[in-house]
Amino acid sequence: MTTTTRRLDQSQIELIGKELDSLRQRVVADLGADDADYIRRVVAVQRLSEVSGRVLLFAGWFPPAWIAGVGALALSKILDNMEIGHNVLHGQYDWMKDPTLNSRTFEWDMVCPSGQWRRSHNFMHHTYTNILDKDRDVGYGIIRITEDQKWNPYYLGNPLYAAAQAVFFEYGIMLHDLEADRIVQGRRSWAEIRPLLGPMLRKVGGQAGKDYLIFPALTGPLFPVTLAANVCANLIRNLWAFSIIFCGHFPDGAEVFPEEESENESKGQWYLRQMLGSANITGSPLFHLLSGNLSHQIEHHLFPDIPSRRYPRIAAEVRQICEKHGLPYNTGSLSKQLGSVIRKIFRLALP
């Protein structure tokens, strides 16, 4: 058990579980038209942003139009991936019975097939949050992000691996389910991953064809200008998503747990692990929207299937529960959290 966990007896842990269960029940009972209207407005803004970006790039020879087009496309992709796709795929809006927002059929604007994401993220990550060698999001099998990961010379490249992951983040997410490190170690056979390859290649082909061939071709002689704009929009989305996600999981103070921590785990113990292994980012309402409300990573890990717009509303109560039981509530500005992540990546490159 972690040092923080040892300070609590079992009755305290179970009380925390009951308090969080009660909070969840109150939020679920209150879901309704306002939540449905909210996500539909976000979808409308995302679609308008994409159309606006595509139209602006028909005048891409004019620098202000090109810059505005890149910005609109980047906004569209960020909203699609963060506040819409990630949250819809968690089943946050299944209660609406809207086929366009159904977690089982929704597909997002990124190269990772949504079905594979549901397994690697919704199940593996949210079940085994920050459990070393169980949670595939711990370093994504590439980066050393805790001293509990045994050092070897490979980790000298930690900063380079992190930089590559930030630039090509959507492709790193796509390859996540392959568990490439286990293939290299001989712990997973090619036969096991073969069924995953077809959906991946089809999704990559569709996304690359759309962004790097079809839409640039539609602008005729502006093909290279539009191609560059699409590359930039995807890059902005990748860097943003990497920053938000790593700040929610790996800054100073976010705990990592041994595998035995999750054995015979009660609901209260699971809640406790979510709170201790997560971190929040402070910011404005617009910042929270653009982060998909993953700026409230603690609340998201506690209640991954509750609509994300509710996280800011319940954050104060979650924080009160933490303070009441002497638990840390890890939160800070983007610069603070991202700075601590970067320092950690460099520090852990060394033994």
Give me the pLDDT at residue 314, please. 98
Q: How far is CA 335 from CA 75, 290, 316, in A?
A: 21, 16, 22
pLDDT of residue 1: 44
Q: How many CA atoms lie within 13 A of 226 on its CB side?
A: 21
The kind and range of the H/E element at 281 are strand 280-281
Identify residue 281 by its one-letter amino acid code: I
Partners of 131 in the β-ladder: 257
Residue indicated by tokens 């990559």: 204
The answer to whether residues 323 and 329 touch, using CB atoms and an 8 Å cutoff, is: yes
Residues of the chain with pLDDT under 50: 1, 3
Cα R_g (the chain), whole angstroms: 21
Which structure tokens are listed for 168? 């090509």
Domain that holds residue 91: 3-347
CB atoms within 10 A of CB 328: 14
Q: pLDDT value at position 89?
A: 97
User: pTM for the full model?
Assistant: 0.93
Tell me the sheet residues that pair with 331: 280
**What angle is formed at CA 127 by the lines to CA 124 and CA 130, rounded to 5 degrees?**
85
What was the pLDDT predicted at 262?
Answer: 75
Q: Which residues contact 190 (CB under 8 A, 6 or more apart)?
A: 183
Please name the residue ranges forming H helices in 185-310: 190-209, 215-218, 223-249, 267-276, 285-290, 297-302
What pLDDT does 180 receive?
A: 67
Angle (deg, nearest 10), helices 10-30 and 267-276: 80
Confidence at residue 120, expressed as pLDDT on a 0 to 100 scale: 84
Q: How many domains does the chain have?
A: 1
Give the pair of three-digit tokens for residue 242. 């990497």
114's enclosing H/E stretch is helix 114-117
Taking a C-beta distance cutoff of 8 angstroms, is the pair 90, 109 a contact? no
Residue 137: per-residue pLDDT: 76
Using alpha carbons, list the distances in angstroms from residue 182 to 59, 133, 136, 172, 192.
48, 11, 11, 15, 11
Closest Cα partner for 247 from 291, 182, 290, 208?
A: 291
Beta bridge partners of 281: 332
For residue 193, the model assigns a pLDDT of 81
Residues 144/129, Cβ–Cβ less than 8 Å:
no
Q: Would you say how long the chain is, in residues?
A: 351
Contacts of 263 (CB under 8 A, 6+ apart): none
User: What sign for the dihedral angle of Cα 15, 17, 18, 20?
Assistant: positive
Residue type, 58: F
136 residue type, one letter: R
Q: What is the DSSP letter of 109?
A: S
CB 57 within 8 A of CB 65: yes
Cα separation, 342 vs 116, whole angstroms: 28
